[in-house]
Chains A and B, each alone.
Chain A
Amino acid sequence: MQVKAADRTAPTHRSPPEHRTRPRRTPTRRWTSRKAQGLAYAAPTAVFVTVFFLLPLLLVGQMSLSDWPLLAGDRGVNAPENYTDAADSTLFWPAVRFTLLYTVIVTVVLLVLALLLALLVQEFRPGAGFFRTVYFLPSALGLASASLLFWGLYSPTTGPLSSILEGLGLVDDPVSFLGTSTSALLSTVFLIVWKFAGFYMLILLVGLQRIPHEVYEAARMDGASRGQIFRSITLPLLRPSLALCLLLCVTGSLLAFDQFFILTKGGPDNTTVTVVQLIYREAFQRLDLGTAAALSIMVLAVLLLLNVLQFRGLRRADES
């Protein structure tokens, strides 16, 4: 086993030894030094992963089982109160429900629109490159910047959207985009779709380009219609790319924070509080890091489960 590994890794192994002027080292010593060098190059990664990933992961587990006020204080064992406290919070189930609702709406709207955009700019025509760039441009912005931008756009006093809708005769009074829970939700969805549609479009474009031309040509020879080609060739062959988008979109939406923190602050009446916002509030407004840690562990568990399920789905999509 070890000898095999040495064969595979020592790059000087295949070079003829006559070329070397230095005394030849034995294969074993060369292999050992190679191994040590590999470890040395990987050491910074190992330190980073241990200190900033594994250690915090262990710590959050410990915190979730302890009484852990934000400032120094009693840190005795407190299991499982943090978990029951978190689940008992009046905002817990509303936040879970809202996060799920938001995730479903964003995922459906975003993926459908991204697919339409990708199909629209897929073929080369004059201007297609320009349109791709324009649709992608919002993705270059940060989520916080985009949220601040839309906060101004939605403003009932200085924002232009209200006056545009009034000018078109669609509404009579200034629209309060963030005023009710439904309009706040839909306004946030609009922001997210604007910000991310181009990003998912690009992933789908890469997927579309990997479908061989011959497949389309063969289908056209057989007299398939555009709809038939889309349903029985494009969609199935695009499934891995669509699955990747789905994974990214669902994970991202379940962890939504910036957009609601900036646009709605959870309002009106705490109707747009997401789960991550709840974690933030428990930790830094109610100053209870233990409960925040318990909530974090629950989110982690749900996401791990979801990732496992989706990776299975991805693999099946790859196999088919």
Chain B
Amino acid sequence: MLTRALGRTPYYVVAGGLAVIFLFPLVWNAWASVSGQPGTAQESGYGLGNYRTLLDYDAGLWRYLLNSTVVSALTVALTLGVSLLGGYAFARFDFPGKNLLFLLTLAILMVPYATLLIPLYVLLGRLHLQNSLVGLSLVLAMFQLPFATFMMRISFEAVPRELEESALVDGCGTAGALRRVLLPAVRPGLITVGLFAFLAAWNDFIAPLILISDSEKAPLPLAVANLRQQSMGAVDYGATEAGVVVLAVPCLLLFLLLQRHYIRGFMSGALKG
């Protein structure tokens, strides 16, 4: 027993040491956001001064949170809607151009973000969607489509055909079969797709940086980065740290709640490789 415990010790020293290094920045940032620093709203002691600065900064924290929430919700809804129907079509139907369309959807992965954002900036202007949260969501949803469509196709293919055949025999149309029989069966896939779409939309920086020019419409990451850049000379580290906490908490909570679905996403990536 003792020798086994001793044999384990080096493992726990190394793994534990690494854990401290990985946790340190997160813990430090949370602590720094409520602790006193010269030149910030929280000069001394502990409190929420930095969060109050953030609350009143420019258009206000609530505005930015609302923008981020709207963009994330729209992106998730669009991604789920399009990939649910698309995944169904690719898994269960045969139609002209099917393989070409699937390959084109996957090809989005091959094209760098920056290559598409420059023409999208021009194109959204022509569609009168420039500087709009809807336009931004459409673009973010498009970037999610390769993973989402792939994932939903796998999910539909994993459902036994007999399940939906019996529904079709009972007089359901394909839409009825999708809604009543298939939708519950592919729910884990939908959760995975929704989770990845939410995190991508919530965290994205370069798309809003290019597509949103009005600070009233900035999502949170852009607003926090601007907060840091605009206060030249007197840099407010405290408010930035508070901003990082507001940005990070939903992501960390979602991850801890939905770890299982995260792994599912990786599995499908690994299967592809």
B255 within 8 A of A: yes
Q: Is the CB of A140 within 8 A of B199?
A: yes
Q: Is the CB of A292 within 8 A of B203?
A: no
Q: Which residues from chain A contact B21 at a C-beta distance below 8 Å? A: 194
Given contacts A46-B101, A150-B25, contact A241 B244 (CB under 8 A): no
Q: Is the CB of B240 within 8 A of A148?
A: yes
A287 to B11, CA, bound (A): 55
B66 within 8 A of A: no
Given contacts A44-B85, A54-B104, A258-B205, contact A296 B112 (CB under 8 A): yes
Q: Is the CB of B14 within 8 A of A5?
A: no
Given contacts A14-B165, A52-B120, contact A135 B240 (CB under 8 A): no
B273 within 8 A of A: yes
B133 within 8 A of A: no
Given contacts A45-B82, A117-B18, A279-B114, contact A8 B94 (CB under 8 A): yes
Q: Is the CB of A296 within 8 A of B118?
A: yes
Number of residues of chain A lying within 8 A (CB) of chain B: 97
Q: Which among B18, B25, B142 is the interface contact of A48 at CB below 8 angstroms? A: B142
A11 within 8 A of B: yes
Interface string of B86-112 (1 = CB under 8 A from A): 101110111111100100110110111
Q: Is the CB of B26 within 8 A of A42?
A: no
Q: Is the interface of B mostly helix, strand, loop or mixed?
A: helix
Q: Which among B118, B206, B241, B262 is the interface contact of A152 at CB below 8 angstroms? A: B241
The total of interchain contacts (Cβ-Cβ below 8 angstroms) comes to 294
**Chain B: residues with CB nearer than 8 A to chain A?**
8, 11-12, 14-16, 18-19, 21-23, 25-26, 28-29, 32, 37-38, 81-83, 85-86, 88-90, 92-98, 101, 104-105, 107-108, 110-116, 118-123, 138-139, 141-142, 145, 149, 161, 164-165, 168-169, 171, 174, 199, 202-206, 209-210, 221, 224-225, 228-229, 235, 237, 240-241, 243-244, 247-248, 251-252, 254-256, 259, 262-263, 266-267, 269-270, 272-273
Q: Which residue of A lies closest to B255 (CB)?
A: A140
